Amino acid sequence: MDPVTLTQKLVQIESTDPGTGEEQVADFLEALAAQHLPDFARTERLEVLPGRPLVRFVLPGRSAEELVFLCHMDTVPFGHEWTRDPLGAELVNGRIYGRGACDMKSGLACAFAAFLEQAEACTEPPAKTVQFIASMDEEADMRGVESALAAGWIGRDSRVLDAEPTDGCIQTAHKGRYWFRYTMHGKAAHASEPWTGADAIAGMALALSSVRRTVARLESDPFLGKSTVTFGSISGGTQPYQVPDTCTVTVDMRVVPPYTIPDMTALLETAADEAAEQIPGLSCTVEVTGNRPPVPHHEDSELLRLMKNSVKAATGKEADVTAFPGYTDTAVLAGTTGNPNTLSYGPGSLSLAHKPDEYVEVADIERCYNVYRALLAEWLG
């Protein structure tokens, strides 16, 4: 099983989200698995949305203990400013170019190749169970992993690895990802007499400045670092001659423990109250539009121990262990169930993901493939 060729074949199948979706990738994986899985293995498919399935391949063991590869099939849309074909999967100077090359079709290819190689070698059920789950919608609302949880495919006791690009590190912890729709309500008035109204845009400007200062002062986490805030979009007002009565901002907070959704909601409300002291008549509403809690680092995680051993066995080097900058399918599992055995390790760099001319190094693919093979060898004894 050649993970480099498999990466190229996967990149050549469009699976943009929003866009084409994952069905063609799922069909391809099922057809490939049918050539290599032993008779006692099983394949299951779950249609989460029309044309957007989850698919899993199970190598059932004599023990219910399970190791799970959880890899998403979708990519972000192509975007603009490409100098190469986003579906070309060109191999140039040791790099494969294309949308999803590093996020995460190369990781999917490495894990699936290692899984099928192990499965094909089994003439009877192994000592422990191994699963490969091809997920959907990771690049949007993460409905794939949520559906896998609801279906009982994975749970708190699973040991679950995703193949996100990690720059050669093992990555274990995640800041919380909290999203809000933050609306300032004021009072419309003629712009020549602004004191008769309450300027919602001016109030929002005061509130956002306060929010930034307050978030910067929040307590840091020794592993995850500092909390951050980003204001992604803003809208408000109607005409230049009218005092605006509303202003709405979307807020993205990446928050470390011990801070929670109620803490951040209160922070936004306090900032609006402070603005109202300067501009009487203002009020605010805070709507939570996304709630992904922080995931702490677990130094005693069994999967972390296995991964450290596997990286050392495959590369001869000790792996750096760091936090993952974003939020992944495994983070959803950990944040929902408290599972301490979830982590990310995959080829490529997150700094190249979602950008034009995305690429992955062939050397990275080969490294991760060998690490996954070592992991399976240790897991199955």
Give the pLDDT score at 381: 85
Give the pLDDT score at 186: 98
Burial group, residue 204, by CB count within 10 angstroms (0-12, 13-18, 19+): buried
Q: Which of 148, 116, 122 is nearest to 134 (CA)?
A: 148
Distance, CA of 171 to CA of 164 (rounded, Å): 9
pLDDT < 50 positions in the chain:
none
Distance, CA of 186 to CA of 247 (rounded, Å): 8
Give the pLDDT score at 185: 98
User: pLDDT tens digit string along 140-191?
Assistant: 999 999 999 999 999 999 999 999 999 999 999 999 999 999 999 999 999 9
User: Is it true that 3-174+295-380 and 176-292 share their CATH fold?
Assistant: no
Contact 113, 173 (CB under 8 A): no
User: pLDDT tens digit string along 201-216?
Assistant: 999 999 999 999 999 9
Burial group, residue 278, by CB count within 10 angstroms (0-12, 13-18, 19+): exposed
Each domain of the chain, given as residue ranges in start order, spans 3-174+295-380, 176-292
Give the pLDDT score at 348: 97
Please, how many CA atoms are within 13 Å of residue 329, restricted to the half-sphere of its CB? 33
Per-residue tokens: 14: 């469009």
What ranges in the chain are assigned the alpha helix state H? 3-11, 23-34, 106-121, 143-150, 200-216, 261-278, 302-315, 329-337, 362-380
**Parallel, antiparallel, or unpaired: how do β-strands 52-59 and 42-49 relate?**
antiparallel
Distance, CA of 364 to CA of 63 (rounded, Å): 32
Residue in the block written with tokens 């309500």: 185
Per-residue tokens: 165: 């690009």
User: pLDDT tens digit string along 40-75?
Assistant: 999 999 999 999 999 999 999 999 999 999 999 999
CATH architecture classification, 176-292:
2-Layer Sandwich (3.30)
Q: Which of 376, 354, 374 is nearest to 79 (CA)?
A: 354
What pTM was estimated for this model as a whole?
0.91
CATH class belonging to 3-174+295-380: alpha beta
Contact 260, 250 (CB under 8 A): no
